[in-house]
Structure 1
């Protein structure tokens, strides 16, 4: 019995270490932050590690972008919790936060001293344009799993127009999307269609390390 408990603890420790190192690697090496970090998270968590499916990771990003806070930090915390419970959430949060925080402190010192340098200004101009491309790429990746039929495509288009032309607060657009989703499910139910057809749903499941024991 003691041997099994020790083996279980080793499995948990290895998983938590893997979670920490995965997000530690992504944090300082993936430039652009926020939504620009999404493709890197998806590649590591889904393609390389196999911790979550494409549908699950899309739901994670949707929830992470709907609550206050940085989407990358929210996503890492949520993913860590899905994989290994509260310890996993803490490991993922520390992994993605600590190196970036330390790096930003160093960059702040150098930026204050070199911000008027023409070469530095030119570099930041190019970086801003590159970040736009990273965010657009992340939007396309998420769109492939989020936009699954005409209704979801129409909702995405309407939400984009509300943000761009209506200048609405993002919270109002999120509430609109949630309300429209509930209404869509009701309409499909009355029409005799399966409510979850063509959509992904984040299912409750036990942390991964419970299956490794």
Structure 2
């Protein structure tokens, strides 16, 4: 079977349960960033969308206000099952982090949630609370920064493979990078410029 044979036809349906479960698993695996790579792997594994369409939705998500991850999840869910699909994707994406933040914020809930969370969860939370402000915890937090950068870079490489396929698309990608990195041009204007150049060259 070739790669193109494995790609789904446009409009391949997915159940709300599959969408919720898939985005929940992607969220649980995306510690420190790199959610795009996890979502692309999910789409590949489930044969939901071609990589090129995923790249288009990912690019469009970055032009919208709000969280890129939330925007992309809603777009993917909507593409798969309409408004209910977007809601299922967002619920799956946001549930793990929301629960964890509630536990961290309320502290005392850790004992109650110990019945539902793995046995190690209260120990980890107790360590975080007792060591707050300590040099050890500060070093642990700092160590997450390069991990997150590496995960984001991995997601960027995966996305770039499906988006940049020739000199014209490579030039558009380089131009977008230069505008975003070295100029005050808003991202949405960089996207519009890329669309104009792409319509002329691609």
Q: Distance between the aligned counterparts of 1:73 and 1:163, measured in 2?
A: 21
1:114 Cα shift?
4.5
Whether 1:66 aligns to 2:63 is yes
Counterpart CA distance in 2 for 1:132 and 1:170 is 21
Determine helix, strand or coil for the equivalent of 2:80.
helix
- Normalised by the size of structure 2, how large is the TM-score? 0.75
How far 1:96 moved relative to its partner? 0.7
Q: How many Å separate the matches in 2 of 1:158 and 1:81?
A: 30
What's 2:178 paired with?
161
Q: TM-score, normalised by structure 1?
A: 0.71
Q: How does 1:25-44 map to 2 (within 5 A)?
A: 25-33=25-33, 36-44=34-42
**Residue-pair matches, total:** 170
Q: Secondary structure at the match of 1:39?
A: helix
Partner of 1:16: 16
Where in structure 1 are there 5+ consecutive unaligned residues?
1-11, 186-213
Secondary structure of the residue aligned to 1:32 is coil
Across the aligned residues of Structure 1 and Structure 2, the Cα RMSD in angstroms comes to: 2.2
Aligned-residue offset at 1:113: 6.8
Gaps of 5+ in 2: 1-12, 108-124
CA distance in 2 between partners of 1:123 and 1:172 (Å): 38
Q: Which has the higher contact order (CA 8 A, sep 6+)?
A: 1
Residue 112 of structure 1, CA deviation? 7.7
- 1:22 is paired with a residue of what secondary structure? helix
Structure 1: 4+ residue segments shifted above 4 A: 108-115
Q: Does 1:172 align with 2:189?
A: yes
Tell me which of 136, 146, 159 is aligned to 1:119: 136
